[in-house]
């Protein structure tokens, strides 16, 4: 609270400076505590809902549902879906706490871009058969980026997952790649709900969600993009979004091209 802030009369430059530093620290701690509180609330809610849904299905099966193949199938599918949600929430929480407490192990390895993107799209087509995933056909085979492949996979999954989650009736996702000698640009475009200019800057902040209720209903917790950005920064990359409200968004991932060591001959 502001009661514990240091307030000084003007005059002593060093003390004034110290008090500014101290007050900044206090403000940051305060914000951090508030974010943590929000986070615990969000996580509890996130975990409570799938547990309640699964409990409902299991009780139904236990009473009579197991004798009806259709009900059995539906309840099993629904329960599995809820388990997936919980798993990804727990995974994201773990990633986040690892990112904060333990250093992420950034491994600058030579990763071939095209097969990784192709695989991600095959996976998404399997999980979301009602979506159309368009991929540029002219992605060169020999583009290599400097990043640990699991980290790039994780970043792609976060952004593709959002593209699906925040799509509207037009269930279409476009993926394209542009590269020069230095960098590669991966663009992931959706035609969903989009966002205001103001929100394009905030969505990479931890816990920030444009529409808390809607995002939560869609399985969101406001961590995905914060993780993606944190990972990319570690590889000297960036991610940003161009978006138009009610029209859609393009997320652009920028990464350095893998540079072969110069051979002395």
Q: Does 224 bind ligand ADP (CB under 6 A)?
A: yes
> In the bound complex, what is the minimum distance in angstroms from residue 57's beta carbon to ligand ADP?
24
Q: Pick the closer one to ligand ADP by CB: 75 or 249.
A: 249
* Nearest residue to 177 (alpha-carbon basis) of 248, 233, 129, 116: 116
Taking CB atoms, the residue at the shortest distance from ligand ADP is 220
State the Cα–Cα distance between residues 220 and 89, nearest whole angstrom. Answer: 8
**Measured between alpha carbons, how far is residue 134 from residues 118, 210, 252 in Å?**
11, 27, 16
Q: Which of 113, 175, 203, 253 is in the footprint of ligand ADP by CB under 6 A?
A: 203
Region from 4-12, 145-153, 174-182, 215-223 binding ligand ADP, contact rule CB under 6 A: 215-223
Residue 189 interacts with ligand ADP (CB under 6 A): yes or no? no
Pick the piece of the chain touching ligand ADP (CB under 6 A) from 30-38, 62-70, 121-129, 190-198. Answer: 190-198
Q: How many residues bind ligand ADP (CB under 6 A)?
A: 23
249 binding ligand ADP? (CB under 6 A): yes
Q: Is residue 253 a contact point for ligand ADP (CB under 6 A)?
A: no
Which residue's CB is nearer to ligand ADP, number 65 or number 237?
237
Q: Taking Cα atoms as reference points, which of 123, 152, 177 lies closest to residue 227?
A: 152
Q: Which of 148, 166, 191, 235 binds ligand ADP (CB under 6 A)?
A: 166
Q: In whole angstroms, give the CA distance from residue 207 to residue 46.
A: 13
Least CB distance to ligand ADP at residue 208 (A): 6
Q: Which of 125, 190, 236 is nearest to 253 (CA)?
A: 236
The terminus-to-terminus CA distance of the chain in angstroms comes to 65
Dihedral angle of Cα 161, 130, 200, 234, to the nearest 10 degrees? 30
Compute the least distance from the CB of residue 212 to ligand ADP, in Å: 8
Q: Residues 254, 216: contact at Cβ < 8 Å?
A: no
Asked if 50 contacts 82 with a C-beta cutoff of 8 angstroms, the reply is yes
Question: Contact between 75 and ligand ADP (CB under 6 A)?
Answer: no
Say which DSSP state 211 is in: S
Instruction: Using CB under 6 A, list all residues that contact ligand ADP.
Output: 158, 162-163, 166, 190, 192-195, 203, 208-211, 215, 220-226, 249
């Amino acid at each position: 609270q502001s009661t514990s802030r240091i307030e000084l009369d003007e005059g002593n430059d060093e003390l004034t400076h110290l008090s500014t530093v101290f007050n900044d620290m206090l403000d940051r701690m305060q914000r951090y505590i508030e974010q943590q509180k929000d986070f615990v609330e969000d996580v509890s809610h996130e975990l409570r809902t799938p547990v309640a849904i699964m409990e409902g299905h299991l009780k139904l099966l236990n009473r009579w549902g197991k004798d009806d193949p259709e009900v059995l199938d539906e309840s099993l599918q629904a329960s599995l879906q809820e388990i997936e949600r919980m798993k990804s929430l727990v995974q994201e929480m773990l990633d986040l706490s690892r990112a904060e407490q333990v250093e992420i192990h950034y491994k600058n390895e030579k990763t071939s871009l095209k097969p990784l993107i192709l695989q991600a799209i095959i996976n998404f087509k399997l999980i979301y058969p009602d979506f159309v995933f368009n991929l540029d056909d002219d992605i060169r085979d020999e583009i290599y980026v400097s990043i640990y492949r699991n980290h790039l996979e994780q970043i792609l999954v976060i952004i593709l997952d959002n593209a699906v989650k925040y799509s509207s009736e037009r269930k279409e996702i476009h993926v394209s790649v542009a590269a020069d000698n230095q960098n590669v640009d991966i663009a992931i475009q959706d035609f969903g709900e989009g966002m205001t200019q103001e929100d394009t800057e905030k969505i990479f902040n931890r816990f920030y969600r444009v529409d808390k209720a809607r995002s939560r209903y869609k399985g969101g917790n406001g961590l995905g993009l914060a993780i993606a950005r944190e990972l990319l920064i570690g590889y000297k990359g960036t991610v940003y979004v161009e978006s138009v409200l009610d029209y859609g968004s393009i997320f652009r991932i920028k990464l350095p091209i893998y540079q072969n060591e110069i051979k002395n001959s």
